[in-house]
Structure 1
């Protein structure tokens, strides 16, 4: 468990910007200012007794870098501190974080309620692979609390959602969702990838566990894959036990990269949000845009709720062009600055066609239920000049 809740700790009560730079850092005897990268697979013990004590858990210390590494541990403590969690564990990717959470906390015969408005691969994980292991899954509308209530069963163990959602930026009421989860004896797991703790802290609103794709905004420059799970120690220890056995582990180098990303997290998220809001307002006025999905717009149904539980609206938006796939692809292919890639959370703006990429493996009924239409485009707004991004989209939009 992290000790940031101890009033004697120097970072007790520290603000997010300070935690993002200082939390979890310990110095070796060399007195280094920057965090070192411990590129070692194993550790040497002083005696056979110490080795036995380390492996049994009787003595704290490093054992094997699959589940104990000083650089990774620093990242785990820092992201836990930022989310206000007791403990955190790092994984090889964001999907590994979700998988590890499920494998650690669910068993055959359990029931999961999952939002339809999640990343397409997340949907596949639940509906194809978790069901293969005997876990029952129901998909419901993210913002319709009555559907969540109706889906609850005696064996319901976990609620899973993203807020804001990918790619339509729907917003869930986390306080109400957490209350319903508790009443049903379930854990509420929130994917906080779009907001990060810089803009939203689901645990403070009642969630039990938060998962991250560190690949996205926690890094911020599209360099490495990684994930994280944070929450109460009783849950995180179970996830750690799974990772120790099965090995979906974050590398020390990637952890070091994410530590550098966290240092500028709030500043970047503020800038992403400002750019995204400006682009959303511009798109909202374009004659060839049918609809814009961004919770920063007053017209968005989740706007007031987002104002309540987020510090800003994030960097991801989606919009529908007049027409279908042909027109959407025309807009995408006409860009010269934006990167055509499915990743997000980068200082470089990315653009993608969800129906044929991020949600391409879903069947047509699932796409329709999730609102993934052929004329939908997702943009993860980076930090370039907003005027250049507008010109880039105009190349294709003006030709429709």
Structure 2
């Protein structure tokens, strides 16, 4: 983030950060759909190759003006020194874990996370000698018991998927740092509009930019943001595994980020209204939403979040079959995985995001067959509530 960015509010940075006019005066950086870039002399080329100055060279390396402009914007929004853009959120996570861990090292994953993250940590990385201890959110106060001298990363989502757990970033960062580990926070659900984990002590922030940052269900991308010294070892993994974001996608993502604040604030407001409606519904037994937090959890939300987000989940007071029937009756909510788009989506985690977990593991984590997860879009809240009302009326 530049000194100039620090003087601007978030909405202004969404529009202007990382951007510059080209020679033709384009109002936003154009799409440079090029694989390579030429230099007038070998010495100029070597200055870029050997890091003596910034420049463009080869797109797989990330040295493309469209990608570099996007990364400047991403860094600014997360109050980070720098950022790296990836082809997907899972690519961003994988490169982060592989660059900061080696055979014999240890990761602690706290709370619920995306099903693909469970698979990466629990099945893929152990084949490379990198092992993960999964700690349920309910056991979060015991986190120091699970940290060892070999722990290199503590990883968490806050709010988490799909139970919307909220974790105290500052407290967990202190515990991780006490054993020399990094705290990596997945900020996909919250977005920089509602939360900036680096400001609370996290070392790195990752995103599935496919979701709220993209915001239109028309791209797949990921990002990591943080200090340059911590991103430097990640970049070679991105380069050599071919995980770079395509310039076309980078241009689309930069477009989406310009409207991030207005989109997320609208989704915050609608999701809050829906959460309160569901909390009072006689056929709903539980609602998971940061805006409904009480006690110590409410204090954490107040300390580190500026908004509650557009994601929530709830449990139908009935069987999994009845929950499925409820989802099938929805008309405005599309039945689909993913989240963060302009359209509202509904899914049962047991059939999509967390289908790969065993029934026993899901039960331990409170991911029941009767849980429904909602991604609240940009429709009017009255229409979405009416849709939920008719679907629930037959439970």
TM-score bracket, normalised by the shorter chain, equals over 0.9
- Could you tell me which of 12, 16, 25 is aligned with 1:31? 25
CA distance in 1: counterparts of 2:5 and 2:44, whole angstroms: 31
CA contact (8 A) 2:211 2:341 kept: yes
CA contact (8 A) 2:111 2:165 kept: no
Q: Write the mapping of 1:107-256 to structure 2, written as runs, cut at 5 A.
A: 107-142=102-137, 144-256=139-251
CA distance in 1: counterparts of 2:295 and 2:347, whole angstroms: 21
- Could you tell me which of 304, 308, 312 is aligned with 2:307? 312
CA contact (8 A) 1:143 1:170 kept: no
CA distance in 2: counterparts of 1:143 and 1:295, whole angstroms: 16
Partner residue, 1:344:
339
User: SS of the counterpart of 1:33?
Assistant: coil
CA contact (8 A) 1:116 1:369 kept: no
Give the CA RMSD over aligned residues.
1.5
When structure 1 is superposed on structure 2, of 237-246 and 138-147 the one drifting more is: 138-147
In the TM superposition, what whole-angstrom CA distance separates every residue of 1:22-72 from its partner, at most 9, and x where no partner exists? 111122211211220110111122234444443333443211101211111
- Could you tell me which of 34, 52, 58 is aligned with 1:64? 58
Partner residue, 2:90:
95
Partner residue, 2:48:
54
Measure how far apart 1:300 and its partner are. 8.0
CA distance in 2: counterparts of 1:136 and 1:52, whole angstroms: 40
TM-score by length of 1: 0.95
In the TM superposition, what whole-angstrom CA distance separates every residue of 1:329-367 from its partner, at most 9, and x where no partner exists? 101100111111111001111100101110001112221
In the TM superposition, what whole-angstrom CA distance separates every residue of 1:275-305 from its partner, at most 9, and x where no partner exists? 0110011111111111111110145862331
1:19 aligns with 2:13: yes
Measure how far apart 1:394 and its partner are. 2.1
- Could you tell me which of 81, 84, 90 is aligned with 1:86? 81
CA distance in 1: counterparts of 2:386 and 2:331, whole angstroms: 10
CA distance in 2: counterparts of 1:150 and 1:316, whole angstroms: 31
Measure how far apart 1:13 and its partner are. 2.2
User: SS of the counterpart of 2:83?
Assistant: strand
Unaligned ranges ≥5, structure 1: none
Q: Write the mapping of 1:253-272 to structure 2, written as runs, cut at 5 A.
A: 253-272=248-267
CA contact (8 A) 1:72 1:90 kept: yes
CA contact (8 A) 1:174 1:202 kept: yes
User: SS of the counterpart of 1:354?
Assistant: coil
Unaligned ranges ≥5, structure 2: none
- Cα gap change, 1:272/1:301 in structure 2, threshold over 3 Å: closer, same or farther? farther
Measure how far apart 1:236 and its partner are. 0.8
1:41 aligns with 2:35: yes
CA contact (8 A) 1:353 1:376 kept: yes
How many residue pairs get matched?
Answer: 394
Partner residue, 1:277:
272
